[in-house]
A and B are shown apart, each in its own frame.
Chain A
Amino acid sequence: MKFYNKEILYGLYNDETELLRAVKKAGRDHLDVWDVFTPFPVHGLDPILGLEESRLHQAGFIYGMTGTLTAFLFMTWAFVKDWPIIFGNKPYWAVPAFIPVTFELTVLFAAIGMTVTFYTICGMGPGVKNPTLDDRITDDKFCVAFDVSGASSTEVESLKGFFKNTGAAEVNTKRI
């Protein structure tokens, strides 16, 4: 299991509306949120957390183009240069007939490339065990977490105050 060696102070909220209010308030109070964990994608969270849009789709475009070129250039090479054969009186370089396979490989490369990239950049994969803060985060709890490794007790107290003011149902610390 991965170990961040961080002391995490986290609060659990019962509802995504409370979570959004809390994260907004954290932004206004200039608190440095370590991460937010939710059981499902909460819309409207990314901009207030200051997350930039994912560039995964741009990577997908590049993977797709790689597939297009691989398929088309390979078929061209195989049928024009390596071993030219006439099929059904068609020219060697029968472009329309190459379209289906070119399309399929575009999709295949884009899908595999993006999925592998997704798991890699998220630090996930078969057999990977990332530390989690609370088992109920994948059920019905919405979690805001602060990194308090090396923080003074006044800082921790003020963060606890923040959780209290924003209506967190539970506040805990965990070393992960």
Chain B
Amino acid sequence: MSTIVSPIREPLILGNKTYHQITEDICRPTEAAPSKEWIIGFIVAVSGLGLYFFSVLWTVWNGIGSWNLNRTIGWGWDITNFVWWVGIGHAGTLISAILLLFRQKWRTGVNRAAEAMTIFAVICAGQFPIIHMGRVWMAIFIFPYPNTRGPLWPNFNSPLFWDVFAISTYFTVSLLFWYTGLVPDFATVRDRATGWRRKMYSNLAFGWTGSAKHWQRWESLSLVLAGISTPLVLSVHTIVSFDFATSVIPGWHTTIFPPYFVAGAIFSGFAMVLTLMLVVRKILHLEDYITIQHVESMNKVILLTGSIVGVAYLTELFISWYSGYIYEQFAFYNRVFGVYWWSYFGMMLCNVVSPQLFWSKKLRTDLWVTFFMSIFINIGMWFERFVIIATTLARDYLPSSWSYYSPTWVEIGLFVGSLGLFFTCFLIFTRVAPVVAIAEVKAILKSMGNQYVKNNTVADHALHHEEEEEHAAHGGHGHH
């Protein structure tokens, strides 16, 4: 209430909104019939999901032999997709948790959708290691449970095992955080609905009333979940990078991997958030809540993390040369000029060169430039993982076992299909849940609404003055 906002700061909510108008605008997509764009998008996404099911069934039925993995290239598109999807998930947690701790108000416009993206991306990611097992019904063995073989435990020293815990914890915590944020908004939808929709949203809203004590606990819970999600999200991609870094393969065995993977994850995740939000704000008419300000802030994060990733790529090259170790030097020479040179240059162009355009304010506030850039970065970050995995494995210690790998239709089907799975989930989400956090946007209206921003300092001053008068009247013993 008494936040002092500099009048220089740009508003984050446009269109002179009232509290009621915010409710109307954000609930409308869950109440109105789906638009034509949504239906077309949904048909495309469900077709992708169908392709996914088919490819998974094909893989399980025929075995991993239906892929083009070979003697040295044991990880291909599958693990590339796994790392890519996990990375995308990171932006959601960054926006909702780290920006909450930093009190960044622009978070409120995009956090709900970004968290949803996190959950769906982690669902996609989690499938790939399981499919990669081939015998998917053996997946239960990755958990330490009292079995009849001893019991024999999984290897707690293995980063692949750490990954099981990292990914499943990440998914669970993200889901709890997201749903707890959704509960008050489901109550808003419930209280506007009638008939079966009222019944459904009553169940989803868990009996939320909006009592002052509940809000207090809700804020306390959100803050602590944000606090523990912050190291969690950093740990997840760190552990994913351990899958590579703790191995003894030249090109993987590097200490730079954890920070480099985390920066890359945030980079790719923000790109995916932008891809989604630019479409969502247009189709659901939420331009007043997801403004150019939001887009610009995210583009600044992209510029920063893209530059960190660029520095990491160059550091890797330098260190491999500086190490004087011939296998390491070869691994990186091969990465740049070897058989997969095109994917290395694709990665460099998309991830390092192109984000530098965002130094220009004109370009980072241009929606079309941002949209194409976000697609570019998504492609570039997929290439990064492919470069790390395939180029390294294609050149073994023995030149006689050098080989080349390109995917079969099944592997392509799994990747394209996982996009179908992701977008099916996301499109359902945009119909069922409010895609912008209603309560949180209302809470910043008085400090970030366009009609308040310009004269906010004055209004706060008046209120403060009033409080002081009251204090004086009570001999200054009042509480603040």
**B206–A125 touching, CB < 8 Å:** yes
Q: Which residues from B are CB-within-8-Å of A49?
A: 212
Q: A43-B1, A44-B1 are in contact. Are A87 and B192 (CB under 8 A)?
A: no
State which residues 302-323 of B face A: CB under 8 Å.
none
Known: A57-B220, A108-B169, A108-B173. A119 touches B206 (CB 8 A): yes
Q: How far is the CB of A159 from chain B (nearest CB, A)?
A: 18
**Which A64-111 residues sit within 8 Å CB-CB of chain B?**
64, 74-75, 78-79, 82-83, 85, 87-88, 90, 94, 97-98, 100-101, 103-105, 107-108, 110-111
- A151 touches B (CB below 8 Å): no
Q: Tell whether, in the assembled complex, residue B156 and residue A79 are in contact, meaning their CB atoms are under 8 Å apart.
A: yes
Number of interface residues of B (CB under 8 A): 70
Pair B18/A140 contact, Cβ less than 8 Å: yes
The answer to whether residues A39 and B439 also contact, given A16-B1, A83-B151 and a CB cut-off of 8 A, is yes
- Which of A97, A137, A139 interacts with B20 by CB under 8 Å? A139
Q: How far is the CA of A104 from the CA of B180 in the complex (A)?
A: 20
Residues from chain A with Cβ under 8 Å of B268 in the complex: none
Contact of B212 among A2, A36, A78 (CB under 8 A): A36
How far does the alpha carbon of A23 sit from the alpha carbon of B333 in the complex, in Å? Answer: 71
Query: A130: which of B209, B228, B440 is its contact (CB, 8 Å)?
Result: B209
A162: Cβ under 8 A from any B Cβ: no
Q: Collect the chain B residues with CB atoms within 8 Å of residue A87's CB.
A: 155, 157-158
Residue of B158, B231, B242 touching A107 (CB-CB under 8 A): B231
Chain A minimum-CB-distance residue to B225: A111
A56 in contact with B221 given A83-B152, A137-B210 (CB within 8 Å)? yes
Q: Contact flags (1/0) for B135-155 with A, using CB distance below 8 Å?
A: 000000000100000111101
> What's the nearest-Cβ distance from chain B to residue A95, in Å?
11
Give 1 or 0 for each of B208-227: 1 = CB within 8 Å of chain A CB. 11111111111111011100
Q: A35-B212, A112-B176 are in contact. Are A118 and B165 (CB under 8 A)?
A: no
A139 x B192 contact (CB < 8 A): yes
Complex contacts, A20 vs chain B, CB 8 Å: 1
Please, which residues of chain A bring their CB within 8 A of the CB of B450?
none
- Bound-state CA distance A121–B144 (Å) is 32
Within 8 A of B (CB), among A49-67: 49, 51, 53-54, 56-57, 60, 64
| Residue in B closest to A28 when the chains form the complex, CB atoms | B474
Q: At the interface, yes or no: A172 with Cβ under 8 Å from chain B?
A: no
Given A126-B206, A136-B191, A140-B20, are A37 and B153 neighbors across the interface (CB < 8 Å)? no
Task: Assess whether A83 is in contact with B210, with CB atoms less than 8 Å apart.
Answer: no
Q: A83 and B150 in contact (CB under 8 A), knowing A107-B232, A126-B206?
A: yes
How distant is the Cα of A143 from the Cα of B209 in the complex, in angstroms?
11
Min CB gap B294→A, angstroms: 19
Q: Measured between C-beta atoms, what is the minimum distance from B456 to chain A in Å?
A: 13
Tell me if A114 counts as interface (CB < 8 A to partner B).
yes
- In the complex, whether B291 has a CB less than 8 A from a CB of chain A is no
Residue from B218, B220, B463, B479 in contact with A17 in the complex, judged by beta carbons closer than 8 Å: B463
Q: Which of B2, B162, B215 contacts A38 (CB 8 A)?
A: B215
Please tell me if B166 contacts chain A, counting CB pairs below 8 Å.
yes
- Fill in one digit per residue for B181-195: 1 if any A CB lies within 8 Å of its CB, else 0: 001100110111000
Residues of A within 8 A of B144 (CB): 74, 78
Indicate if the CB atoms of A104 and B217 lie closer than 8 Å: no
Q: How far does the Cβ of B364 sit from chain A's closest Cβ, in whole Å?
A: 31
Q: From B173, which residue of chain A is reached at the shortest CB distance?
A: A111
Contacts of A103 in B (CB 8 A): 231, 235
User: Is B161 among interface residues, defined by CB-CB distance under 8 A?
Assistant: yes
The CA-CA distance from A109 to B231 in the complex, in Å, is 15
- For residue A127, give the distance in angstroms from its CB to the closest CB of chain B: 6
Bound CA–CA A140/B216 (angstroms): 19
Determine the chain B residues whose CB is within 8 A of the CB of A130 once the complex forms: 207-209
B241 CB → nearest A CB, Å: 12
Given contacts A78-B153, A78-B156, contact A118 B207 (CB under 8 A): no
Whether A88 contacts B214 in the complex (CB less than 8 A), given A54-B220, A139-B188, comes out as: no
B217 contacts A118, C-beta separation under 8 Å: yes
A65 vs B215: C-alpha distance when bound (angstroms): 26
**Chain A residues whose C-beta falls within 8 Å of the C-beta of B225 in the assembled complex:** 111, 114-115
Contact A101 B209, beta carbon cutoff 8 Å: no
Known: A124-B206, A137-B210. A115 touches B218 (CB 8 A): no
Cβ-based interface call for B19 (8 A): yes
CB of A139 within 8 A of CB of B19, answer yes
- Can you show 28 pairs from A to B with CB atoms below 8 A apart? A17-B463, A24-B470, A37-B210, A38-B210, A41-B219, A45-B212, A48-B479, A54-B220, A57-B224, A60-B228, A75-B156, A78-B153, A90-B157, A97-B156, A100-B165, A107-B173, A107-B229, A108-B169, A110-B228, A123-B207, A124-B207, A125-B207, A131-B209, A135-B192, A138-B210, A139-B188, A140-B18, A140-B23
| Contacts beyond the supplied A111-B176, A111-B177: 10 A-B pairs with Cβ under 8 Å | A35-B212, A39-B188, A39-B210, A57-B223, A75-B156, A100-B159, A111-B172, A125-B206, A126-B206, A138-B208
Ranked 3 nearest A-B pairs via Cβ = A140-B19, A128-B207, A130-B207
